Chains A and B, each alone.
Chain A
Amino acid sequence: MGEILVIGIESTAHTAGVGVFSSERGIIANEKSEYKPAGGGIHPREAAEHHSKTFPSVLKSALKKAECRMQDITAVAVALGPGMGPCLRIGASLARALALKYRKPLVPVNHAIAHIEIARYSTGMEDPLIIYVAGGNTLITTYVEGRYRIFGETLDISLGNCLDVFARETGLGFPGVPEIEKLYHKGAQLLDLPYIVKGQDVSYSGLLTRALELYKEGYSIEDICYSLIEIAYSMLVEVAERALVHTKKKEIVLTGGVARSKILQEKLSLMAKVHDAKFSSVKPEYAGDNGAMIAYTGYLAFTSGIVIPIDKSFIKPLWRLEQVEVLWRKS
């Protein structure tokens, strides 16, 4: 078989992304357009409208970057979930249309698995413990017997969600993490916010509520940001450490939108050192949602024989990652 080219379509939340992966040249395109809410959080219908308007040009520029035509593509991969229904439908419709028009096989990809695989790809790690932190997810997982198993996760809202909502409610803007981290460095005093670890799991909703209360009570925003970040990240590193000791893995990788955080990277790396484990973070361009990770994971799935008939390619808004059989890692 010659060069295999897989195009990947991402539209689970606020990103309309298209990437191309080549079996010979690696990732050769990663184009995207991000929906930015006018106020408040992501409005699923507005995000979907954004995607349907921008996908044609994102697709065109991805093919241009990859210097190929749709005819050259071997398979079309699409993130069918988990994510917001209206958004998922846009990407799925585009992928189905491309597969039908150009007679290409359609490959279903789980968005969370794609974040994991792109992290392994971009760091070269073989069998890491994975810390996946983003707007929709906060979980710790690793590969055990054919699947990615979850060793700890948030019991309520995600870390990214917690920080984004705090930033929005205090007028720091979206996305919130960079702004809060700027203020983190100016904070001096550790305020009393709830640190909630339950066994292997964390909970962030109480932390968010209390941080917002302190803001209304007039505490300095710098101190609140310092305390919020310090506590939210420490909770995550603690459960990651538990999972590391339990699974005895020797590598840790950080992935997802919040993976760009230097502060979180540093905390995880301090923890890893104590256990003689290697730590690395996904490359920044693959941290947030993107089409390249869908293309790459689609390539792994496709070469393991995973395709889906178009009339069965329903979206799966609640598709959990441990439901996916990871055939490409089976030895």
Chain B
Amino acid sequence: MEKILGIGAEAVLVKDRYYGFDVVRKTRIRKNYRNPILDERIRKKRTVLEARILATCKNNGIPVPTVLHVDLGKAEIIMDYIKGARLRDIIDSLSMEEVKKYFQILGREVGLLHKAGIIHGDLTTSNMILVGDKIFLIDFGLSYFSKELEDRAVDIHLLLRAIESTHPRYVELAFKEFTKGYKEVMGEYVDVVLKRMEEIRMRGRYVAERRHKVK
């Protein structure tokens, strides 16, 4: 019944059954390079934070896996398994209309997330699962609570960068629709956050190389 879904740097994800439900068990791995007390402290703290963030999402109408159980001793969260297709895997088979529709939905969801004071921290299309008319957001391993403009702008910047690097032909279309959806929730604030995002993207990484051939 158990099937390993993924092994990250921090946690192992296993598909399992739990009281008749298909679930994902996310266990934070012990690190032998850390003092054991420190290690336990960190794994517990992050497990609590992630469960709390998932619960806050639920309370604010954002589609995320439901937390069924938290085992602090094992630094483990048991959540329901979301059955659907990863946006990353099916985006190329979607029609333009569908891409537009889903990115608008996504914009609305990220708007709700930010409104609830949550930063996802890893908004890539691999962390989005399509189920009917909803996009479930998963992997809140890098998430935290914040209402700072800078944090929100970075969150959206990471999403844009992910679309640019994996789905370049949809960038403009997808991001325009995303912006519409985000605006539905956050109103005119969308301009403020996009302006900050532009600033973040422009922060000096450019220098002309002075290269000359040896004579």
Binding site for B on A (CB under 8 A): 105, 108, 190, 195, 198-199, 230-231, 234, 237-238, 241-242, 244-246, 266-268, 270-271, 274, 302, 305-309, 312, 319-320, 322-325, 327
Given contacts A320-B207, A325-B211, 5 further A-B contacts (CB under 8 A): A242-B9, A268-B33, A305-B211, A323-B207, A327-B211
Asked if B207 and A307 sit within 8 Å, CB to CB, the answer is: no
Contact A245 B8 (CB under 8 A): yes
Query: Are B9 and A244 in touch, CB under 8 angstroms?
Result: yes
Q: Contacting chain A: which of B35-43, B77-85, B182-190?
A: B35-43
- Do A199 and B121 form a contact, CB below 8 Å, given A230-B38, A308-B212? yes
Q: How far is the CA of A198 from the CA of B141 in the complex (A)?
A: 11
- Contact residues of B: prevailing secondary structure: loop
Chain B residues near A190: list those with CB within 8 A: 35, 37-38
C-beta contact mask, B198-215 vs A, less than 8 Å → 1, else 0? 000000011101111110
Nearest CB in chain B to that of A107: its residue: B214
Chain B residues, CB < 8 A from A231:
38
| CB of B195 closer than 8 Å to a CB of A | no
Interface string of B1-32 (1 = CB under 8 A from A): 00000001110000000000000000000011
B90 within 8 A of A: no
State which residues 133-164 of B face A: CB under 8 Å. 142, 144
Shortest distance from the beta carbon of B9 to any chain A beta carbon, whole Å: 4
Q: Which of A302, A323, A327 contacts B205 (CB 8 A)?
A: A323
Q: Which residue of B lies closest to A192 (CB)?
A: B41
Known: A199-B142, A320-B205, A323-B205. Contact between A230 and B210, CB under 8 A?
no
CB-contacts of B108-131 with A (<8 A) = 121-122
**CB of B5 to closest CB in A, whole Å:** 15
Q: A105–B214 contact, CB under 8 A? A: yes
Question: By the criterion CB–CB under 8 Å, are B38 and A270 in contact?
Answer: no
Query: How many B residues are at the interface, by size bracket?
Result: 20 to 34
Q: Whole-angstrom distance from the CB of A303 to the nearest CB of chain B?
A: 9
User: Which A residues touch B41, using CB under 8 A?
Assistant: 195
Q: Of the candidates B33, B42, B144, B210, which one forms a contact with A108 in the assembled complex, judged by CB atoms under 8 Å apart?
A: B210
Judging by beta carbons under 8 Å apart, are B9 and A234 in contact? no
B142:A271 contact, CB within 8 angstroms: no
Contact B211 A306 (CB under 8 A): yes
CB A90 to nearest CB in B, in angstroms, measures: 21
Shortest C-beta distance, B214 to chain A (Å), equals 6
Q: Which residues of B contact A307 (CB under 8 A)?
A: 212, 214
A234 to B32, CA, bound (A): 10
Which A residues are CB-close (under 8 A) to B34?
Answer: 230, 234, 237-238
Is there contact, CB below 8 Å, between B207 and A270?
A: no
B33 touches A270 (CB 8 A): yes
CA distance A312 to B8 in the complex (A): 47
Contact of A325 with B209 at beta-carbon distance under 8 Å, contacts A199-B142, A244-B9, A245-B9 already known: yes
A267 contacts B9, CB within 8 Å?
A: no
User: CB-CB < 8 A to B212: which residues of A?
Assistant: 305-309
Which residue on A lies nearest to B7, using beta carbons? A245
Q: Are A322 and B10 in contact (CB under 8 A)?
A: no
Q: Is the CB of B213 within 8 A of A195?
A: no
A213 CA / B202 CA spacing, docked (Å): 38
CB distance from A251 to the nearest CB of B (A): 17
Chain A residues with Cβ below 8 Å from B32 are 270, 274
A234 engages B214 (CB within 8 Å): no
- Which listed residue (A267, A319, A322, A327) contacts B33, Cβ 8 A? A267
The reply to whether B213 and A305 contact each other, CB–CB distance below 8 Å, is: yes
Q: Digitize B97-110: 1 where CB-to-A-CB distance is under 8 Å, 0 elsewhere.
A: 00000000000000
Report A-chain residues with C-beta under 8 Å of the C-beta of B8. 245
Q: 26 interchain pairs (CB within 8 A)?
A: A108-B210, A190-B38, A195-B42, A198-B144, A230-B34, A234-B31, A234-B38, A237-B33, A238-B34, A241-B31, A242-B9, A242-B10, A245-B9, A270-B32, A270-B33, A274-B32, A302-B214, A305-B213, A306-B211, A307-B212, A307-B214, A308-B210, A320-B205, A322-B205, A325-B209, A327-B211
